[in-house]
Amino acid sequence: MSSGSGVEPLFTYGTLQLPQVQLDTFGRVVDGDDDVLPGYRREWTPIDDDRVANLSGMDAHPIVRFTGDPRDRVFGRVLFLTAEELDAADEYEVSLYHRVSVSLSSGRHAWVYVGR
């Protein structure tokens, strides 16, 4: 699923920002840049995957949904991952999410996990 460009920007707005989740998923804490995802709204969804819930310490995780309204914005961080780390993020995210390419307020293009 990765683009093969070497560096994979991933916009994160929830548990992938947590150091313990990054260490488990990527084997390192990942630096990133603050950014904003316009036209989406953040909600919460219950997580029934025990491993993911135990790792994050939360049984509900944030999830974003497209609204198309430019007044809706999600604040988060862009993580710069390798293709292998992006694949690991795909494994971490439960089936409620899927990865899409988006344009951020900074003008950067990045992957983001959104609600199905």
Can you count the helices (H) and strands (E) in the chain?
A: 3, 7
Residue type at 46? Answer: P
Q: Which domain holds residue 42?
A: 8-115
Is residue 84 in some structural domain? yes
Is residue 1 in some structural domain? no
d(CA 92, CA 75): 21
For 53-64, what is each residue's pLDDT tens digit?
788 887 888 899
0.75 cut: is pTM over it? Answer: yes
Is residue 3 in some structural domain? no
CATH number of the domain that residue 101 is part of: 3.10.490.10
Q: Residue 35: name the closest of 110, 104, 102, 114 by CA.
A: 104
Reply yes or no on whether the pLDDT at 113 is more than 50. Answer: yes
Task: Tell me what the pLDDT averaged over the chain comes to.
Answer: 91
- Partners of 63 in the β-ladder: 43
Is residue 2 in some structural domain? no
Is residue 62 in some structural domain? yes
